[in-house]
Amino acid sequence: MIRLQQATAVAGRVAALPALREANPPDTRTAPRLSDVDAWGRSERARGLARTLFGPVYRHWFRAEWDGLERIPRAGGALLVANHAGAIPPDAPVIMHGIETELGRPVYGLADHLFKDTPVVGTVWNRMGGVVAHPDNAYRLLHDDESLVLVFPEGSKGPGKHVRQRYRLARFGRGGFVEIAMRAGVPIVPIAVVGAEEAMPVVANLPRVAHAMRLPYLPVTANVLALGPLGLGTYFPAKFRLRVLEPVRFDVPPNLDRYSRSKVMEGSEDIRTRIQQAVFDMLRERRSVWR
């Protein structure tokens, strides 16, 4: 009987331990970290390695050339919005690499759950600064962390479009990115990109196969037709030109529960029009796809 009572008392004390831990949960965002991986999963060491490996591609293969880079804020949060293209879009790594090397500011890229949910790829993508595209994530990065955040409002419609539709921007969704910028109280910095369309152009799509594989699109690229299996991961050496446009600021108070739907859609279409016009101007100015 005595042993039973002692065992019961010990069991009671053990059962109470979780309640004590729950009463004072640790703050994982402020707790000291044993590695350089931040609260979002980004690793500066991994980014440094990526910059070292991607640097020659950026400088010598794509020969990236910026105009208006000084318009990107040196401090504080800002939402970077760009057009999106190429079957496996090279524009995200080019933009992130350029800003991080030229300005020394880390860039977080918002993307679909597809990357996060893919084994190995999801972890690598996360270490490179990839974050799942969700309004709460974007708000915390922009408002709380005052970070630079890159988003492509065309989504999969941009890189999935046929080469015949190149440089014609798809619809910018329902303008959610504008509402996030309003709520976070940060500017939107539009970026027009030329070169990604020719780096890996889509010559055909396989929608039924893509649906069966639960993919947003499954393209056949000119790279694969020209290079065979090597073309799956090899870009054509199209010259990249990137133009940073004037930041767009919204004359509305931050942190409201709701914003005017018409004002959000108007802002979204205005930014899309600015980028589209800049892309057309850049195409008229360039002499060749390759130089």
At 251, is the secondary structure helix, strand, or coil?
coil
- pLDDT at residue 52 tops 90: yes
pLDDT category, 34, cuts 50, 70, 90?
low
Range with the poorest average pLDDT among 29-33, 40-44, 132-136: 29-33
Q: What is the pLDDT of residue 33?
A: 57
140 within a domain of the structure (yes/no): yes
9 within a domain of the structure (yes/no): no
- pLDDT at residue 249 tops 90: yes
Between CA 85 and CA 163 the distance in angstroms is 10
Q: What is the pLDDT of residue 117?
A: 73
With 0-12 / 13-18 / 19 or more C-beta atoms within 10 angstroms meaning exposed / middle / buried, residue 216 is: middle
256 within a domain of the structure (yes/no): yes
Q: What is the pLDDT of residue 173?
A: 86
Between CA 199 and CA 161 the distance in angstroms is 14
Provide the residue range defining the domain that includes 46. Answer: 36-200+236-285
21 within a domain of the structure (yes/no): no
Q: What is the pLDDT of residue 194?
A: 98
Q: What is the pLDDT of residue 31?
A: 54
Rounded mean pLDDT of 28-40?
71
What is the token pair recorded at 37? 């991986």
DSSP per-residue string spanning 204-232: EE-HHHHHHTT-S--EEEHHHHHHGGGGG
Residue 139: which CATH number? Answer: 3.40.1130.10
222 within a domain of the structure (yes/no): no
- Answer for the pair 184, 138: CB distance below 8 angstroms, yes or no: yes
Higher pLDDT, residue 268 or 25: 268
pTM of this prediction?
0.86
Question: With b meaning 16 or more CB within 10 Å and e meaning fewer, what string describes 120-140?
Answer: eebeebbbbbbbbbeeebbbb
The count of domains in the chain is 1
Tens digit of each residue's pLDDT (9 = 90 or more) over 158-210: 999 999 999 999 999 889 999 999 999 999 999 999 999 999 999 999 999 98
- pLDDT at residue 70 tops 70: yes
Tens digit of each residue's pLDDT (9 = 90 or more) over 94-136: 999 999 999 999 999 998 877 677 788 889 999 999 999 999 9
- Looking at every residue in the chain, the average pLDDT score rounds to 89
54 within a domain of the structure (yes/no): yes
Q: How many residues comprise the chain?
A: 291
pLDDT category, 4, cuts 50, 70, 90?
very low
The continuous run of DSSP H or E covering 66 comes out as strand 65-67
- Answer for the pair 128, 47: CB distance below 8 angstroms, yes or no: yes
Which percentage of the chain shows pLDDT scores above 70?
Answer: 88
Question: With b meaning 16 or more CB within 10 Å and e meaning fewer, what string describes 237-272?
Answer: bbbbbbbbbebbebebeeeeeebeeebbeebbeebb
Between CA 149 and CA 76 the distance in angstroms is 11
Q: What is the pLDDT of residue 113?
A: 75
pLDDT category, 247, cuts 50, 70, 90?
very high
25 within a domain of the structure (yes/no): no
Tens digit of each residue's pLDDT (9 = 90 or more) over 223-242: 999 999 999 999 999 999 99
- pLDDT at residue 74 tops 60: yes
Q: Positive or negative, the Cα torsion across 249, 250, 252, 255? A: negative
Range with the poorest average pLDDT among 30-39, 58-67, 172-181: 30-39
Q: What is the pLDDT of residue 32?
A: 55
10 within a domain of the structure (yes/no): no
Q: What is the pLDDT of residue 188?
A: 98
